[in-house]
């Protein structure tokens, strides 16, 4: 029943999915943390910028962002992200799109984490003379990150599933492979089962594992 698998590079396709996920995860963690820092900071302009960014980006469908990266940035404006190969270009543009989209949610997750830190912590930190950067970097963010593990896990799981949208610009990941296999083989259930199993292997353990981590690292109050 599953002998069609020999003809296709299933592991390769899922490896692309994993690569998309990891690269975008790192990128959006960095950009999202910066945004969160701006969003809770004392400078009104930065706060306004971050708020506007989050509210606009999270309400645009990811598909629109990724298609725009390909049709708008690459085809119209000639942004190639330092590569002249079409495959690499699409991959990098997809990562860029995923970062732009996901960092809005990372920002919200971290801000939710910051909100769990009791005001007294920051007041005590200010009382011993730390400035905003020190309060944020030494006292609040470390506690906030530990509280934000669970929301960030949800973002990561969503990101894993969202990488399939890169299929819209032809990045050869799992959803594209599923489409190709369905076109060539008359085995709807077997093929769907394989792809579904692959995604279950990626998302379910992530949730379980990081769920445990979040319980372990959470600051007991």
Residue in 1, 3, 6, 44 binding other proteins, rule: CB under 8 A: 44
CB of 77 to other proteins, least distance (A): 5
Please tell me whether residue 75 binds other proteins under the rule CB under 8 A.
yes
Window 5 to 24, contacts with other proteins (CB under 8 A): none
* Min separation Cβ 85 and other proteins, Å: 22
Task: Choose which of 13, 20, 35, 62 interacts with other proteins (CB under 8 A).
Answer: 62
Residue 59: Cβ-neighbour burial (10 angstroms; 0-12, 13-18, 19+): exposed
How many residues make contact with other proteins (CB under 8 A)? Answer: 72
According to CB under 8 A, which one of 36, 40, 100, 147 is a site residue for other proteins? 40
Tell me the angle at which helices 10-40 and 44-57 cross, rounded to the nearest 10 degrees.
150
Please state, in angstroms and as integers, the Cα–Cα distance from residue 38 to each residue in 56, 84, 103, 137, following that order: 16, 35, 13, 13
Helix axes 86-116, 10-40, angle to 10 degrees: 40
Binding of other proteins by 204 (CB under 8 A): yes
**Residues 160 and 203: beta-carbon distance below 8 Å:** yes
Q: How far is the CB of 88 from other proteins (least distance, A)?
A: 21
Q: Is 195 in the site for other proteins (CB under 8 A)?
A: yes
Cβ neighbours for 187, distance < 8 A, ≥ 6 positions apart = 1, 4, 181
Span 117-136, contacts to other proteins by CB under 8 A: 117, 119, 121-122, 126, 132, 135-136
As a whole number of angstroms, the distance between CA 54 and CA 40 comes to 13
> Can you tell me which of 42, 128, 220, 221 binds other proteins, judged by CB under 8 A?
42
By CB under 8 A, is residue 192 in contact with other proteins? yes
Q: Which of residues 145-174 bind other proteins (CB under 8 A)?
A: 150-151, 154-155, 157-159, 161-165, 167-168, 174
Q: Is 58 in the site for other proteins (CB under 8 A)?
A: yes
Residue closer to other proteins by CB (options 61, 142) is 61
Asked whether position 188 contacts other proteins by CB under 8 A, the answer is yes
Cα distances (Å, whole numbers) of residue 112 to 3, 32, 108, 116, 208: 48, 13, 6, 7, 21
Q: Is the separation of the CB atoms in 113 and 43 below 8 Å? A: no
Beta carbon nearer to other proteins, 23 or 181: 181
């Amino acid at each position: 029943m599953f002998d069609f698998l020999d003809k296709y590079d299933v592991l390769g396709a899922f490896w692309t999915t994993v690569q998309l996920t990891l690269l975008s995860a790192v990128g959006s963690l960095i950009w999202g943390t910066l945004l969160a820092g701006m969003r809770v900071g004392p400078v009104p302009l930065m706060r306004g910028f971050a708020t506007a960014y989050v509210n606009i980006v999270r309400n645009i469908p990811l598909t629109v962002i990724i298609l725009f990266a390909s049709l708008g940035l690459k085809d119209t404006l000639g942004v190639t992200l330092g590569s002249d190969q079409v495959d690499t270009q699409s991959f990098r543009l997809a990562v860029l799109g995923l970062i732009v989209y996901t960092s809005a949610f990372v920002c919200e997750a971290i801000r939710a984490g910051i909100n769990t830190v009791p005001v007294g912590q920051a007041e005590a930190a200010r009382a011993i003379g730390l400035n905003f950067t020190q309060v944020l970097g030494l006292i609040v963010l470390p506690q906030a990150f530990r509280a934000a593990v669970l929301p960030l896990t949800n973002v990561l799981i969503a990101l894993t599933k969202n990488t399939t949208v890169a299929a819209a610009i032809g990045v050869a990941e799992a959803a594209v492979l599923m489409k190709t296999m369905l076109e060539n083989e008359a085995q709807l259930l077997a093929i769907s089962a394989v792809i579904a199993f692959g995604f279950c292997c990626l998302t379910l353990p992530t949730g379980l594992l990081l769920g445990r981590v979040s319980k372990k690292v959470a600051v007991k109050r």
